[in-house]
Amino acid sequence: MVCFAESNLTLRIKIHKNDNADTEQGENYDEYINKLDNLTLQLCRPFCGSGTTINMDNYYMSTTCAMKLRENGVFCRGTICCSRKFVPKGIQFTTAEARTLPRGTHCMAVNEDHQMLADGWVDSKAVYFISTADTSEVVTMNRKISSTKVDMQASLAVTNYNKFMGDVDCHDRLQSTFSLCKKHHYKKYFIKMMSFLLDIGLTNAWI
């Protein structure tokens, strides 16, 4: 699902299937990258060449997807699993380091060929980011730890991700509150799917 960050409205939606029936063999399809990256590229197809920035969590984000989106004029940022391909080893923290280093500790790497930033950042645990939309500038951000507000350093990728992903999550929260799909149990899968699509329409109307 693609949502507009400022208003939380759903812009596009695509249903995952176990087979490859949901993969469009056409524009933006690349047989050399995995299915999930191809689905992400197809969802972002309307934004090609527009300079739009897409925010993603670590399920969808990959370095290959970020490179392909940038080639098509779409920027992106998001968290990424350190086990994904081409994530620099130099930005990764060991479990012991993440536990002992102070919050706000970070390590960055830049790929100049693809204009891509990789950032490892220590919060309550080590978090890793990929961005083609932000510079390597470091700013001060405010975090609430227990009941105390603490200032710590973070890259622009981290602060912008926290800013815009919070708005997108609002859509999911509203949908779960008024969800017909989750409140009822259906024996037929297609009835549940139709209820899910109706939930999205009701959520957009509520917003």
Place of tokens 């779409």: 74
pLDDT of 69 strictly over 90: yes
Residue 145 confidence class, pLDDT cut points 50, 70, 90: confident
Domain tally, the chain: 1
Q: Residue 115, CB half-sphere, CA atoms under 13 Å: how many?
A: 12
In this predicted structure, which of 61-70, 122-131, 163-172 has the lowest mean pLDDT? 163-172
Residue 200 confidence class, pLDDT cut points 50, 70, 90: low
Cβ-contact 137, 156 below 8 angstroms: yes
More confident residue, 40 or 21: 40
Q: What are residue 70's DSSP bridge partners?
A: none
State which residues form the domain around 41: 2-206
| For range 99-123, the mean pLDDT | 92
Residues in contact with 7: Cβ distance below 8 Å, sequence separation at least 6, in sequence order: 207
Q: Which long-range contacts (CB under 8 A, 24 or more apart) does 125-128 make?
A: 125/98, 126/82, 126/92, 126/93, 126/97, 126/98, 127/79, 127/158, 128/79, 128/80, 128/81, 128/82, 128/87, 128/91, 128/92
pTM for this entry? 0.79
Residue 207 confidence class, pLDDT cut points 50, 70, 90: very low
Q: Using alpha carbons, select from 84, 43, 97, 75 the residue that is nearest to residue 161.
A: 75
The confidence score (pLDDT) of residue 204 equals: 56
